[in-house]
A and B are shown apart, each in its own frame.
Chain A
């Protein structure tokens, strides 16, 4: 029995020529790749913008122990190509009953809750995102936009799909304020330590 663990690295950056070329997201993606390679993981990769086959993506999700989404935040979510990917891949995983068997509720056992029909237990999901928003805009009730919300709260629309399918969601990693005062170099340097901690590796 193979003990080699697998990680699926999804990069969903969408190119806007001369405005957002994807260099920063590619750097984080590469950092994660180097980290998992160094820890003897088998690497599966998807660059959403380059195209994919939905059924193949379902298989990659089934094989992976860890799934990482690398994304810029465009208008408070991932670029639209990611939601297209999710709708296609998760619909395929729903129809084939590979990701889940319904929403968890049963007529026989009414105590079974909505969101417990997943088949992806023991897998872990993490988001690594790059933001224009500054760190100070989060976790502070006096901030008008996020009103005290954390990054995890702001990313709930992305992570809840995975939880719905039984995947454990671990702490996200964020690079803030990328156009102004952010510490991009420091954030890149500290990324492997975050991966090590949340996945308890090495």
Chain B
């Protein structure tokens, strides 16, 4: 009997120790897991370039797309950095945000076949600053020593990705249509080439844009909004 009691005692201690060790192990695991995730956590910079025209364009649609993207990246455990250009910004801070971001998404309406002017002002200021400080690029890529080095390969932002998400009046059928007088067969990506070109010049991979067409007559705004997270998932491989 005493021996049995002793055995029971021993096994109880053993179980208690195993439980303790397991609990302890789980605790260690629980402590290290977020730390490891923090190292891996990706960062997205969301830019909203909408410019308000009172009573004509209040920015609701662009905000809706912007919010969809924000919600999506938060659900994917991204750190989200944000800039609403119309509300003002600090140029140096924007350079740093670009440095931190793995992904940049520009949400913009198309006004006169491009972004509102406040976005080009933002680009001229932020990219010029980062050119002089050599943070985005070291030059235009050409080299006097190596003539095979091409124009546009002097970027320092390789491994980052850029996506354009626009709303425009132009209907989808006006693109890729040689009979269309404005675009003459060009795609929507071709029409907005200048925007992505800056990013590819500094080393970004520029992804095919997400476009919400024909916004004043549109019958598919709701569908475009709903399918946007799926597009983000696909295009970023998340």
Complex Cα–Cα for A132 and B128 (A): 14
Interfacial chain A residues near B169, Cβ < 8 Å: 103
Interface residues of B, count at CB 8 A: 41
Interfacial chain A residues near B142, Cβ < 8 Å: 134, 180
Shortest beta-carbon distance from B123 to chain A in Å: 5
Would you call A113 and B179 a contact (CB within 8 A)? yes
Complex Cα–Cα for A28 and B128 (A): 24
Shortest beta-carbon distance from A115 to chain B in Å: 3
Shortest beta-carbon distance from B147 to chain A in Å: 10
Of the candidates B124, B182, B183, which one forms a contact with A80 in the assembled complex, judged by CB atoms under 8 Å apart? B124
Would you call A114 and B170 a contact (CB within 8 A)? yes
Would you call B182 and A160 a contact (CB within 8 A)? yes
Would you call A156 and B191 a contact (CB within 8 A)? yes
Would you call B151 and A87 a contact (CB within 8 A)? no
Complex Cα–Cα for A149 and B191 (A): 12
Would you call B151 and A134 a contact (CB within 8 A)? yes
Interfacial chain B residues near A192, Cβ < 8 Å: none
Would you call A87 and B112 a contact (CB within 8 A)? yes
Shortest beta-carbon distance from A103 to chain B in Å: 6
Say if the beta carbon of A79 comes within 8 Å of chain B.
yes
Say if the beta carbon of A26 comes within 8 Å of chain B.
no
Q: Mark A92-116, 1 if CB is under 8 A from B, else 0.
A: 0000000000010100000001111
Of the candidates B112, B115, B124, B197, which one forms a contact with A154 in the assembled complex, judged by CB atoms under 8 Å apart? B197
Would you call A156 and B186 a contact (CB within 8 A)? yes
Chain B interfacial positions (CB closer than 8 Å to A): 51, 53, 111-117, 120-121, 123-124, 127-128, 140, 142, 150-153, 169-171, 173-174, 179-183, 186, 190-194, 197-198, 200-201
Give 5 closest A-B pairs by Cβ, nearest first.
A145-B152, A115-B182, A83-B117, A80-B120, A80-B121
